[in-house]
Structure 1
Amino acid sequence: MSASYGHGLGIQLTEPPSLIHFDDTVLEADMVITLEPSMSVGEGRIMVHEENLVMRADGPELLSRRAAPELPVL
């Protein structure tokens, strides 16, 4: 199984590129992507937190609010 750590955003909620080891797309200015790390929190349960960023010529700009350092498990 390959782990993906995010994806592009656009007209479709999830679109290329995929932040995964075999996608070698170069991130360019004005592209909007997600960072979407996940972790297992029990059998058959995962937690995913998504942060949205726009790529700028001088570096990424965070569009969403940062998650708290301690995430609650619901």
Structure 2
Amino acid sequence: MGNLLILLMASIVFAESEGQALFESQCLRCHTEKSQKPVSLLKQKYKGKPQEVAELAKRCPWGKGLSDMEVELVSKWLAGLE
């Protein structure tokens, strides 16, 4: 049971860092803190709303190139769920 819990916790941490890494490589070019829609504003506005982030990402020029799994990882990270 203990090993399963450690594995589960490790997978959650990996998903979080993967979502953040994807955001930084794909989204940060337009969502820097000096932009009109900085990451800090997005994280505040979409906290707890990963589905809304996913819908926006699919319309975004850079988000259109992401797979569904990548959009989900970024959405959960930005929404603060992972």
Give the alignment's TM-score, normalised by structure 2: 0.23
- Of structures 1 and 2, the one scoring higher in RCO (CA 8 A, sep 6+) is 2
Bigger fraction of residues in strand: 1
TM-score (norm 1): 0.25
**Greater share of helix residues, 1 or 2?**
2
